[in-house]
Amino acid sequence: MTDDSGGRVADPAAARRAVEAVWRIEAARIVATLTRYTGDFALAEDLAQEALAEALAAWPQTGVPRNPGAWLTTTAKRRAIDGWRRREKFDAHVALLARELDEATDPDALPWDPDSIDDDVLRLVFVSCHPVLSREASIALTLRVVGGLTTPEIARSFFVPVATVQQRIVRAKATLAAAHVPFETPPRDEYPARLAAVLQVLYLIFTEGHSPATGERGMRADLALEAVRLSRVLAELVPQEPEAHGLAALLEFTAARFPARTAPDGSAVLLADQDRTRWDRLLIARGRTALARSDALRRGRGPYALQAAIAEQHALAPSVEATDWPRIVLLYEALGRIAPSPVVELNRAVAVSMAEGPASGLRIVDAVAATGALRGSHVVPSARGELLARLGRTEEARAEFEAAVRLAGNDAERAVLAGKLAAL
Amino acid sequence: MSKYMLIMRGNEAALAAFEAKPFEEVIEAMGRYNESMIEAGVLVAGEGLADAAEGVVVEFGGEVPVVTDGPYGELKELFNGYWTVETPTIEEAVEWAKRAPLGVGNKIEVRRVNGIEDFPADNEWIQKEAQWIEQAGK
């Protein structure tokens, strides 16, 4: 990767990565600017992709331009004007835009208005995570337009063919157009629900990368860390929203455990068994800062901030035994009240069992099982097996773990459960 | 994703040019640069160093280390500070380095930061170091 002043790069693969690096940094602002310029998100996204393709063809020969964001934006705007001209929509308005483009000669000028660009990027986030879109569509669109990932990168992250991702993006744009989704931040009455939708999309991207579903660990961790980055971006875009910081904190704390969550043979290591010296202290410190920013807004902890606070307790504890379990029980109780779910109840049961003993935990698990809410999932028999084993009721524990192994969703979970069964 | 350290180095001409600029201007340019990396979610750490003249150099060569007052005497470049960014490729770290508001005579060296995963997990000293990092982090 030699790079003489302007940046001519000899190795084509390195040249491609250099273009992609610029793209990751600039994509959201470029698409946001073009949406404002054309008034059409789908068109803007197409134009941005065309400009990226042009850069991939040109920059390896010419070097990366001095102001790559401006180059990409200008190229896309020219494409827009050419398109309008071809479709004979070249009216006075477009003629004015074309003239403005020709007269803009300062190569160092920002290609967007610095006072409004953050608002435009935020609008882009809300469009990408709009409730008219399916989860898959929102995830693909958010990674592409906000995260600046290329379609092949997204496809590799989700183990699907490139054509599948392309199709999701095309459909997503068609859906947004059909629903006449405006390029705006949501009105006050819709804002909390729409922000929750954005947080959920980022959370889903993280869990997709976090879950040990299938091989290629490096790639998966990168997807999760991309979600961490996007959560930081969002927290800066809406710094007055406690849950944006709450989500960022939760993801920082969880990502901090990545270096400890896989054994050398590739198998998953449970929280209780992780070598805590391998946790990433820098990310833990960032998580604590993010949670403190959420708390500093003095509007109370939402579901993400509460989960972050639980993760913080684990992050600060030197061992499972030295963990402040009574505090974690309180946090789970609060979480269970504002965001009740059987999974939260099971987690509370585990915390209660650590604070008060396995019998108390088992009562909560049995109450969850009685509702039938998680029937068909391995999590209830797995939790029961755990607590029964600690109570010395080995035969009952064995039956539960055997049931859990049958219900496990993937090999990694099965391996963990089989290990527990063997350890009885 | 990896962490990369952007290591800022500059020669005397760069230092002189820096000192000739109005302080407010320098602070604003650096502030904007740092803010852009925070907003992009890539900046994870960074520190600037005080005047090298306050520093001391411990040099290894003869039988005992030789201690001299800074700046570095023979050396033509001074290490002035660093940023740590977390990016998926070195190219992206380089792209951020290129955007630093620095003038002629400055250099940024981009180096990947070793993670705990770069070392054998069973080495006694690696385990100790991990514990030190953990203790220092609390």
Q: What is the pLDDT of residues A241-292, one digit of tens each?
A: 999 999 999 999 999 999 898 887 777 788 888 999 899 999 999 999 999 9
User: CB–CB of A195/A243 below 8 Å?
Assistant: yes
pLDDT digits (tens, 9 = 90+) for A9-26: 557 788 888 899 999 999
What local confidence, expressed as pLDDT, does residue A221 receive?
A: 80
Is position A288 within any domain? no
- Residue B53 has a pLDDT of 83
Nearest to A264 among B86, B121, B138 (CB): B121
* Residues of chain A neighbouring B87 (CB-CB closer than 8 A): 21
**Structural domain contains residue A181:** no
Mean pLDDT of B25-34: 93
Predicted confidence at residue B107, as pLDDT, reads: 94
The proportion of chain B whose per-residue pLDDT surpasses 70, expressed as a percent, equals 86
Mean pLDDT of A40-54: 94
B38 touches chain A (CB under 8 A): yes
Phi-psi region at B66: left, alpha or beta (left = phi > 0; alpha = psi -120 to 50):
beta
Q: Which amino acid is at A301?
A: R
Reported as a pLDDT band with limits 50, 70 and 90, residue A100 is confident
Nearest CA distance, B92 vs chain A (angstrom): 4
Q: Does B112 score more than 50 pLDDT?
A: yes
Asked whether residue A387 is assigned to any structural domain, the reply reads yes
Compare A82 and A220 and report the one with higher pLDDT: A82
Verify whether the Cβ–Cβ distance B42 to A17 is below 8 Å: no
Beta bridge partners of residue B78, listed in sequence order: B10
Domain residues for A93? Answer: 12-103
pLDDT score, position B134: 64
Question: Measuring CA to CA, which residue among A346, A350, A334 is closest to residue A272?
Answer: A350
Provide the domain count of chain A. Answer: 2
Instruction: Give residue-wise pLDDT tens across range B74-108.
Output: 667 888 899 999 999 999 999 999 999 998 999 99
Q: Which residues of B touch A252 (CB under 8 A)?
A: none
Q: A237 contacts in B (CB within 8 Å)?
A: 39
Query: pLDDT tier at A6 (50, 70, 90 boundaries)?
Result: very low
Contact assessment for residue A230 and residue A146, using Cβ atoms and an 8 Å cutoff: yes
Domain count, chain B: 1
**Burial class for A100, CB neighbours closer than 10 Å (0-12, 13-18, 19+):** exposed
How far is Cα B118 from Cα A374, in angstroms, rounded to an integer? 40
Domain extent at residue B95:
2-136
Q: Do A277 and B137 touch (CB under 8 A)?
A: no
**φ/ψ (deg, to 5) at A384:** -60, -45
- The residue ranking higher by pLDDT, A213 or A116, is A116
| Residue A334 is assigned to a structural domain of this protein | yes
Task: Determine the average pLDDT of the residues in A327-338.
Answer: 98
A259·B117 Cβ contact <8 A: yes
How close A281 comes to chain B (CA, Å)? 6
Structural domain ending residue among the three candidates A42, A77, A103? A103
What does the alpha-carbon distance between residue A361 and residue A356 come to, in Å, rounded to a whole number? Answer: 8
Chain A hits for B117, Cβ within 8 Å = 259
Residue among A142, A1, A123, A120 nearest A60 (CA):
A1
Find the mean pLDDT for residues A117-146.
95
For chain B, percent of residues with pLDDT exceeding 90? 47
Phi-psi region of A376 (alpha: psi -120 to 50; beta: other; left: phi over 0): left
Q: Tell me the C-alpha to C-alpha distance, in Å, between residue A183 and each of A35, A128, A149, A196, B40.
A: 8, 10, 21, 18, 21
Q: What mean pLDDT value characterizes chain A?
A: 90
Q: Using a CB-CB distance cutoff of 8 angstroms, which residues of chain A are in contact with residue B38?
A: 232, 236
Of A21, A264, A286, the CB nearest to B92: A21
Domain C-terminal end among A69, A103, A137: A103
Task: Name residue A171's amino acid.
Answer: R
Selected residues 56-95 of chain B with any CB under 8 Å from a CB in chain A: 84, 86-92, 94-95
Residue A45: both structure tokens together: 């996204």
Indicate the residue type of A341. S
pLDDT, residue A413, reads: 80
In a domain, A96, yes or no: yes
User: What's the confidence (pLDDT) of residue B75?
Assistant: 63
Confidence of residue A373 (pLDDT cuts 50, 70, 90): confident
From A366's Cα to the closest Cα of chain B, the distance in A is 38
Token code pair at residue A390:
């600690």
Q: Is A88 left (phi over 0), alpha (psi -120 to 50) or beta?
A: left
Between A410 and A420, the more confident residue is A420
Is A222 in contact with B1 (Cβ distance < 8 A)?
Answer: yes
Q: Which two tokens stand for residue B16?
A: 């002189």
Distance from CA of A92 to the nearest CA of B (A): 37
Is residue A216's pLDDT more than 50?
A: no
Least confident of A113-127, A181-195, A263-277, A300-314: A263-277
pLDDT (mean) for B107-116: 91
Q: Are strands B78-87 and B2-10 parallel, antiparallel or unpaired?
A: antiparallel
Looking up residue B12, the CATH number of its domain turns out to be 3.30.70.1060
pLDDT band, very low/low/confident/very high, at B118 (cuts 50, 70, 90): confident
Indicate the SS3 state at residue A311.
Answer: helix
Taking CA atoms, what residue in B is nearest to A315? B138
DSSP secondary structure string, A93-161? Answer: HHHHHHHHHHH---TTS-SS-TTTHHHHHHHHHHHHT-TTS-HHHHHHHIIIIIT---HHHHHHHHT--
Closest to B95 (Cα-Cα) out of B82, B110, B84, B81: B110
pLDDT of residue B137: 54
Instruction: Verify whether the Cβ–Cβ distance A277 to B45 is below 8 Å.
Output: no
What is the overall mean pLDDT for chain B? Answer: 86
The answer to whether the CB atoms of A21 and B91 lie below 8 A apart is: yes
- Is ipTM > 0.85 here? no
